[in-house]
Structures are given as C-alpha cells and as structure tokens.
Amino acid sequence: EAQVTQNPRYLITVTGKKLTVTCSQNMNHEYMSWYRQDPGLGLRQIYYSMNVEVTDKGDVPEGYKVSRKEKRNFPLILESPSPNQTSLYFCASSFGQGYRNTEAFFGQGTRLTVV
C-alpha cells in the first residue's frame, strides 16, 4: 500500500529536550516536505527536499532541522523545542516531475505538545 508514515503520532515533551519526528514514504517520490498546521493559519511549509542531500527552507524554518540521507526518509529534528512549536505536523511527498504530477500525499500527522 502506497503511504507516508510518520512517527510518533502524539508526543508531549519538555522545553529544550531534542526530539526527532520520522517520516518515510514507499512511493519512490523525489519531493518530501514538512508542514505545521495551526488554527487559522492553514498549512505552512517548514522545509522541503527535492532529492537525497538536497533540502531548502520553506516559510517557517526557524527552530527546525531536516536531513535527507535516503530517498524514502525525511526526519524532522527539533534541537531545542519551545512551546511555540506546539502544533500539528504533517509530512508529505510527491513526484514533482512537472507541474501536472505534483499531488502531495500526506502522512497521518504528529501532534506535538511542548511544555
């Protein structure tokens, strides 16, 4: 089954404690992205990756890191989480081979609470 898998689904952590949210896709997609979703603000892109070892900042990258060492995996790293990073996070992947083939497939979401 084609899917994007995020883990964990729910996470409560304390300020300053490093954490990683994993994302994996089995569709051989080139493009992968991380979004955060907050009430009234819609989905905002944090980082995206065009291929292995190629990443770029989205609209709200501050406080986040990513890496793309393998095509299928795109982890999101919060080195020192703060309460303003409490949000619902989505990973997404897409082919990105031309403007007609860029449907994004989303993971199940990770609800992060930083206290």
Residues 9 to 28: which contact other proteins by CB under 8 A?
Answer: none
CA-to-CA separations, 35 to 1, 13, 102, in angstroms, rounded: 23, 19, 16
Across the chain, where does the E strand assignment appear? 4-7, 10-13, 19-25, 31-38, 42-51, 54-57, 65-66, 76-78, 87-94, 105-106, 110-114
Residue 42 or 115 having the CB closest to other proteins:
42
Shortest distance (Å) from residue 31 CB to other proteins: 3
Q: Is 1 in the site for other proteins (CB under 8 A)?
A: no
Shortest distance (Å) from residue 111 CB to other proteins: 9
Cβ atoms of 7 and 106 closer than 8 Å: no
8-state DSSP, 73: B
Shortest distance (Å) from residue 54 CB to other proteins: 8
Residue 27, CB-side half-sphere exposure with 13 Å CA sphere: 22
Residue 30 or 82 having the CB closest to other proteins:
30
Residues 31 to 90: which contact other proteins by CB under 8 A?
Answer: 31-33, 35, 40-45, 48-50, 54, 56, 58-59, 90
By the criterion CB under 8 A, which residues form the site for other proteins?
A: 30-33, 35, 40-45, 48-50, 54, 56, 58-59, 90, 94, 96-100, 102-104, 106-109
